[in-house]
Structure 1
Amino acid sequence: MIIVIDYDAGNTANVLRALKKIGVQAELSSDPTKILAARGLILPGVGAYPAAMAELTKRGLVPVIKEAVAKGAPLLGICLGMQVLTEVGLEHQETKGLGFIPGVCREIKATKNMPVPHMGWNNLTVKHESPLTDGLEGQSVYFVHSYFTDVPKEYIDVTANYGIDVPAMIHKDNVYGAQFHPEKSGDVGLGILKKFIALCEK
């Protein structure tokens, strides 16, 4: 079973709909037993880093997610779910993240030509190959965000240019992140979800 982690961070319905479209049985849950038994985990999210971490902490899910990942379950963070994979977030206040991937979540600096939030379709550039990046070079996906993950280059698999090279996909070991929304990115996004599910089934 694939578990979409429920922590009231939004966008879960679209993620579940996309998984159903590719024929995947998935469940929205915050039950530690189900999370620990899952073949793979998806951490979606729309909103603010401090609120997300506060809700994960309130529900007792931080140690549960860490235990599941330590046992080898693949984890995919989407949008805010990717941002909280880092060690620290600087949105509104300094907030400790899940710490799976070294780095800091920082604000994108707006310019005249690059307003924030970064919203819309952007082309991808593959920097490092991973199980999720096959066929992504030059493809376009849908972003909505105001913060980016400032992580070491070795963890950045894919970027999108928005005045800076925004990390679009990051990963370390069995933890993966997509800053864009695969569930809103048409066939390209569904393809990424299919690759993640294949990873979970290995």
Structure 2
Amino acid sequence: MLKVEGLSYRHTGRPWLFRNITLNIAPGEIIGLYGKSGSGKTTLAQVIANYLKPDEGTVRMDQQKLNSTRPFPVQLVWQHPEKAINPKWKMKKVLSEAGDVDPQILDALGIASSWMTRYPSELSGGELQRFCVARALGPHTHYLIADEMTTMLDAITQAQIWHTILDLAKKRSIGVLVISHDQQLLERLCDCVIDFNQLH
């Protein structure tokens, strides 16, 4: 179980962005988090995934407080893949950050072997996002946060990515937090949908 307990965050000298957020995600559970742009959802995702330190509260997995060990068991997939990939690395090296990714995941995501020797600038946004998803689904991942992950992608790519994630979540009991301002998408994908504004 991933437990977010009393999480609060604010930028220095600014009002609280959110305060006292409590949220539980069970293994294999798909939770949707709805909220308008600018409401603080992305910052919450960054705190849970250990990119930012909270001002208050803790994130625990199976009763243990998460520290900064790598590979981190909670992985975050961002909206803009080009910002999450080192532009100087070939895609094979980008993928290697996750350890040994199951070749079946690469096949399910439609990642061609010829892409491995290319640089990020040589691939489309949809192709890059497939790599980001594959990297996030490495063998040490227990929870995945998808932050507006497929907003910029075409319908076919969206469907392929979500099918792969939902299938793997079931097989490996990966808990997933899907963050979006698209309520219809969340209702299609998730076991339950939470309004971000009602969490704090």
TM-score (norm 2): 0.34
Structure with higher Rg: it is 2
TM-score (norm 1): 0.34
